Chains A and B, each alone.
Chain A
Amino acid sequence: MNDQVKVAAIAQKSDAADQGLLGIIGAIMLGAILLFSAGFAQATVMHDSSHDMRHAMAFPCH
């Protein structure tokens, strides 16, 4: 019985840890998508509308 409680507690803990790690990986991927679309995407409309900011922040965009 005691063991079962322990196992359940460990399972719960690793679940929470995995969710935390997933959250971190998700956040990094979201950040990368935002950065790529605003800083590097080559589509003309994206490039022209963000042009001054890309120069000011030194993105290698053209």
Chain B
Amino acid sequence: MLRHILTSAVFAGIVAGIFAAVINLWAVIPMVMEGELYESGARTHFAVDGSPQSDAGSPSVFEDPARHIMPAAFSVVVFTGYAFFLVAGFALAERYGHRTTVRSGLIWGLCGFITFQLAPAMGMPPQLPATPGPEVVPRQLWWAMTVVFTATALGLIAFGRGVLPIAIAVALLFAPHIIGAPRLDTYFGFAAPELAAHFAGASLAATALTWTTLGLCCAWFWTKLQQD
């Protein structure tokens, strides 16, 4: 069992991690680098006197290719970690008679996206460099709580029977957002708002794409290795 989980998750994590690295390099990382121009002061928005305008345009990822090697490797590590969760979910569902197919893998992937990206983004949207935020530990705790609650809620909705599991699921889905993520009582961001909004949208779209790919890959390897 453990071997089946391990091999499926590692293969799927490598494929989805490389895919994620490519998508991020194309659609997201250039904006991270553009945000750094504000962080370093190379660009200034919100000028004290006169117009707040600043130049638009991201640095090319080909300017310093070496910089992108380690983040790409970490992307493979993160997605392998996520793959372990998904495949453990397949194995757990199978113990209760729910067989995973490649198509249901897509739904698993979407649920992973909702759990790890979309729900936390409601309280803590993806943030550019140049966006000072509150203390890191309370934010990580809120993030972890949101992930655990959302995952449990989606499991209850998918596999629960009757009204009670649904009611508990709804409470779990809303609880982190009613409690609320840690926030500062002042806005400190000094990057252009257009860039920050574009970055948040692109980051969520990219993770939606990579998570569904991960779900498909996990289910494909899981069912393939089961037959052999």
CA distance A40 to B91 in the complex (A): 27
Name B77's closest neighbour in chain A (CB-CB).
Answer: A38
Number of A-B contacts (CB under 8 A): 127
Contacts of A50 in B (CB 8 A): 70-71, 74
30 contacts across the A-B interface (CB closer than 8 A): A19-B2, A20-B1, A20-B95, A24-B1, A27-B6, A27-B91, A28-B85, A31-B80, A31-B83, A31-B88, A32-B81, A34-B81, A34-B84, A37-B77, A38-B78, A38-B81, A40-B140, A42-B136, A53-B72, A55-B126, A55-B128, A56-B24, A56-B71, A57-B20, A57-B126, A58-B126, A58-B207, A60-B124, A60-B139, A62-B136
Using known A-B contacts A20-B1, A23-B1, determine if residue A30 contacts B136 with beta carbons closer than 8 Å. no
Say how far B201's CB is from chain A's closest CB, in angstroms.
12
Contacts of A21 in B (CB 8 A): 95
Q: Please tell me which one of the listed residues A20, A34, A51, A58 contacts residue B91 in the complex, with CB atoms under 8 A apart.
A: A20
Using known A-B contacts A31-B81, A58-B120, determine if residue A53 contacts B143 with beta carbons closer than 8 Å. no
CA distance A32 to B190 in the complex (A): 34
Say how far A30's CB is from chain B's closest CB, in angstroms.
5
Say how far A29's CB is from chain B's closest CB, in angstroms.
9
A57 & B117 in contact (Cβ 8 Å cutoff): yes
Count chain A residues whose beta carbon lies closer than 8 angstroms to a beta carbon of B: 35
B78 & A52 in contact (Cβ 8 Å cutoff): no
Contacts of A49 in B (CB 8 A): 70-71, 74
